Structure 1
Amino acid sequence: MQPSKEREAADGDPLDDLDDLLDDDLSSDGGSVSGPDRDDDTRKDTRDDTRRGAGIRDRIGLNGRWFSLRGFAIALVAIGLGVFLGGMLPLIGGTIGHAAGVLLGAFLVGLVFSKRRYVETGIAGAGVGAGSALLNVLGIGFLPIGLRYIQEWGLALLAVGGGIGLVLALVGHYFGRDLRAGVTERVE
């Protein structure tokens, strides 16, 4: 970090410092010199935009940096399709098939995406897991009995189903990304 930036960053946000360092490295146009070849006006404009709130908007993920709505939709469809197909397995359908479907759907999301999508996949897995647990109870027995059971145990059922779905989705996404890294990286 340059001395002038150290004085400015003393009271600022640490993420602004990181953004400035990354901007300096990326602005070098392939050369080894970073930072000085960029206009001071451009640097001031980006710092002013960050102070005005553009940096805050970036950090909460409206540009897809922390949360991507498209990534969430794809993860939700993949996990939902996995749960549907897992529930159709002849001998192990039901709860085990749905859990395997969450794991498989999240695995495929991790395998396909080049970026980390743990947040999107985790939320999709928790939602699908909670919904699957709720629908499994409604499918058992007579509808009024299932509704009474949901009235008594519904929140606990949603929490357990969502928690299991979250864990399975994160594990599946991790192993999918691990396989992708193993296949795409060069072996030395």
Structure 2
Amino acid sequence: MSDRSDEVTKPRDTDDLLEETDRLLSDAGLEAGSDETSASTDSERGHRPNETHASTAADDSTRRVGLRSWLAADSYFSPKAFLAFVLLLGTGLLAGGTTIPIAGRIIGILGVAFAIGLLTSKRRYLELTAAGTSVGAVSAVASNAFLAAAGSFQTVVAVGVAVGLVASLVGYYFGRDLRTGLTREIE
């Protein structure tokens, strides 16, 4: 630890701190608190509490747009990425199933998920796991159609979902981990 004796602090007035806080919050598009708090700080500075500010409407519209974009489904789930992952994982499942006789489908999903994690920079865990579970469920029902028709449909789907989920998550996680290791600065 270093000694910080070379730093000099100057005493500041409470009004200066309040003005600087209000200025910083208004630059960020936020308000200083509730109506009661802003009324008391306005009255302390000599402003009337009923005085309207022109920037209040602009701040409210900015806050609403920010809240709308925060609540938008596109910020959490991308349908385009989901469809692309379904196609990629389905291709990996088919390729793995045709080339490797035992556990080839699982290895195919795992390998494609690993490659996706290695190549993509944006985190897409939700889309990839949804695609993995979908591909796993459809594949399990298609390959075990007789069991599904005989009354074990829920069991077949549950096993397919579990296998697809685990294979896609593990592959994607290790792909992202390797990507992080390759792109991180060496200290």
TM-score bracket for this pair, using the shorter chain length: 0.5 to 0.7
CA RMSD of aligned residues (A): 2.8
The aligned counterpart of 1:68 is 78
Shift of the 171–47 alpha-carbon distance from structure 1 to 2, 3 Å rule, reads farther
The aligned counterpart of 2:154 is 155
Shift of the 9–159 alpha-carbon distance from structure 1 to 2, 3 Å rule, reads farther
Shift of the 98–9 alpha-carbon distance from structure 1 to 2, 3 Å rule, reads farther
Count the aligned residue pairs: 144
Deviation at 1:47, TM superposition (A): 4.1
Contact 2:93/2:105 (<8 A) preserved = yes
Contact 1:125/1:166 (<8 A) preserved = yes
Shift of the 44–187 alpha-carbon distance from structure 1 to 2, 3 Å rule, reads farther
**Matches of 1:184 and 1:156 in 2, distance apart?**
42
Deviation at 1:56, TM superposition (A): 3.5
Of all paired residues, the percent bearing the same amino acid is 34
Shift of the 185–44 alpha-carbon distance from structure 1 to 2, 3 Å rule, reads farther
Decide which structure has the larger Cα Rg and report it: 2
Deviation at 1:44, TM superposition (A): 5.7
SS at match of 2:33: helix
**Matches of 1:9 and 1:127 in 2, distance apart?**
47
Q: Trace 1:86-105 onto structure 2 (pairs within 5 A).
A: 86-92=96-102, 96-105=103-112
The aligned counterpart of 1:133 is 140
The aligned counterpart of 1:80 is 90
Shift of the 118–90 alpha-carbon distance from structure 1 to 2, 3 Å rule, reads closer
TM-score, length-scaled by structure 1? 0.65
**Matches of 1:165 and 1:45 in 2, distance apart?**
48
The aligned counterpart of 2:33 is 8
TM-score, length-scaled by structure 2? 0.66
Shift of the 9–131 alpha-carbon distance from structure 1 to 2, 3 Å rule, reads farther
Deviation at 1:154, TM superposition (A): 0.7
SS at match of 1:187: coil
**Matches of 2:57 and 2:180 in 1, distance apart?**
38
Shift of the 69–159 alpha-carbon distance from structure 1 to 2, 3 Å rule, reads same
Structure 1 gaps, min length 5: 11-39, 139-145
**Matches of 1:173 and 1:9 in 2, distance apart?**
44
Task: Compare 128-137 and 150-159 and name the one that shifted more.
Answer: 150-159
**Matches of 1:109 and 1:133 in 2, distance apart?**
23
Q: Which runs of 4+ in 1 moved over 6 A?
A: none
